[in-house]
């Protein structure tokens, strides 16, 4: 529904109450970081063979299917904890571990970032209201591989400024994806994103980045979303798998961290949006690995 409001409100979000940790059935394989303060250092390759890419694609497709199903629940009156509970159950019913759960101690199975939250919002008793925007970040660990995906949704009747931010953030991600090609430096991705975002005077968050993903949740490969040249000039090569996940803001790119150590909010409390796909570099471009199954 189109809103009569043209400008986005400035945020006033505060932390809600957390529910108990959700259980994962014993038969589901855990990532190697569960139970540790930080994940073991990844020492494997950045580019993978076809068999490994196929495993990442299956995990990514499941994350995307969970996103579609969870997104259908978004409406005024729903809590972010209810969204977490649904996504958690969806993933474990399909034999996957929710990658966010207990990664560096993160207490929930997905991230839910509302309005001024840039990323890593913790699902809790917060109630979504008409006019909000909310990003869901869902990662599935299946058959030894992670697939990482996020989408920003509109809740009810949303102002035009926020609608445009969401639409343009998705387009910024797609422009970054279209910039991927073997032989090009990684920094062309951020250049494509930032040059587009600047048209609208959006802030482009620099400190939270895209990353290599596959057997590890974060492999160490860094994908900036801003023009970082001449840094990050490593050439892309076929078989590389990484996320592209720009975070654009209506104001400053700078942020503050809540006391929980996870929730990053814009310093001016203006709204922010994010989209993310996991992609693999192909012989002539890229393939998105986090698309939902047909039908």
pLDDT, one tens digit per residue, over 144-170 is 999 999 999 999 999 999 999 999 999
Identify the residue whose tokens are 């690995």.
Answer: 289
CB-count exposure of residue 37 (10 Å: 0-12, 13-18, 19+): exposed
First to last CA, the chain: 25
How much is the mean pLDDT over the chain? 97
pLDDT at 294: 74
pLDDT at residue 288, as a whole number: 98
The pLDDT tens digits of the residues spanning 16-75 come to 999 999 999 999 999 999 999 999 999 999 999 999 999 999 999 999 999 999 999 999
Angle formed at CA 159 by CA 209 and CA 252, multiple of 5 degrees: 35
For residue 29, give both structure tokens: 């394989």
Q: pLDDT band for position 234 (50/70/90)?
A: very high
Q: Please state, in angstroms and rounded to a whole number, the distance separating the CA atoms of residues 212 and 226.
A: 17
pLDDT in tens, 109-118: 999 999 999 9
Q: What region does 214 belong to: left with phi over 0, alpha with psi -120 to 50, or beta?
A: left
φ and ψ at residue 139, rounded to 5 degrees = -125, 130
According to the model, what pLDDT value does residue 200 have? 98
In this predicted model, what pLDDT tens digit does every residue of 121-146 receive, in sequence order?
999 999 999 999 999 999 999 999 99
3-state per-residue secondary structure call for the chain: CECCCCCCCCCCCCCCCCCCCCCCCCCCCCCCCCCCCCCCCCCCCCECCHHHHHHHHHHHHHHHHHHHHHHCCCCCCCEHHHHHHHHHHHHHHCCCEECCCCHHHCCCCCEEEECCEEECCCCCCCECCCCCEEEEEEEEEECCEEEEEEEEEECCCECHHHHHHHHHHHHHHHHHHHCCCCCCECHHHHHHHHHHHHCCCCEECCCCCEEECCCCCCCCCEECCCCCCCCCCCECCCCEEEEECCEEECCCCCEEECCCCCCEEECCCCCEEECEEEEEECCCCEEECCCCCCC
pLDDT class for 4, splitting at 50, 70, 90? low
> Is residue 2 very low, low, confident or very high in pLDDT (cuts 50, 70, 90)?
very low
Residues listed for the chain: 295
């Amino acid at each position: 529904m189109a809103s009569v409001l043209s400008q986005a409100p400035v945020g006033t979000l505060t932390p809600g109450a957390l529910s108990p940790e959700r259980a994962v059935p014993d038969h589901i394989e855990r990532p190697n970081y569960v139970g540790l303060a930080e994940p073991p250092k990844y020492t494997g390759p950045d580019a993978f063979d076809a068999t490994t890419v196929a495993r990442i694609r299956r995990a990514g497709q499941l994350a995307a299917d969970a996103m579609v199903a969870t997104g259908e629940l978004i409406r005024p009156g729903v809590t972010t904890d209810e969204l977490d509970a649904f996504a958690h159950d969806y993933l474990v019913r399909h034999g996957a571990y929710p990658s966010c759960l207990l990664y560096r101690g993160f207490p929930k199975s997905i991230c839910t970032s509302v309005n001024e939250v840039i990323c890593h919002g913790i699902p809790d008793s917060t109630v979504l209201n008409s006019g909000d925007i909310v990003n869901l970040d869902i990662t599935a660990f299946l058959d030894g591989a992670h697939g990482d995906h996020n989408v920003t949704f509109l809740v009810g009747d949303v102002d035009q400024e926020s609608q445009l931010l969401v639409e343009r953030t998705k387009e910024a991600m797609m422009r970054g994806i279209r910039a991927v090609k073997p032989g090009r430096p990684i920094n062309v991705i951020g250049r494509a994103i930032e040059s587009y975002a600047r048209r609208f005077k959006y802030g482009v968050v620099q400190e939270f980045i895209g990353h290599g993903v596959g057997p590890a949740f974060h492999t160490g490969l860094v994908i900036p979303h801003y023009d970082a040249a001449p840094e990050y000039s490593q050439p892309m090569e076929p078989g590389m798998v990484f996320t592209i996940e720009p975070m654009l803001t209506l104001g400053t790119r700078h942020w503050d961290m809540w006391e929980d150590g996870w929730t990053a909010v814009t310093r001016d409390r203006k709204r922010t949006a994010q989209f993310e796909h996991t992609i693999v570099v192909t012989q002539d471009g890229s393939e998105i690995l986090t698309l939902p199954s047909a039908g």
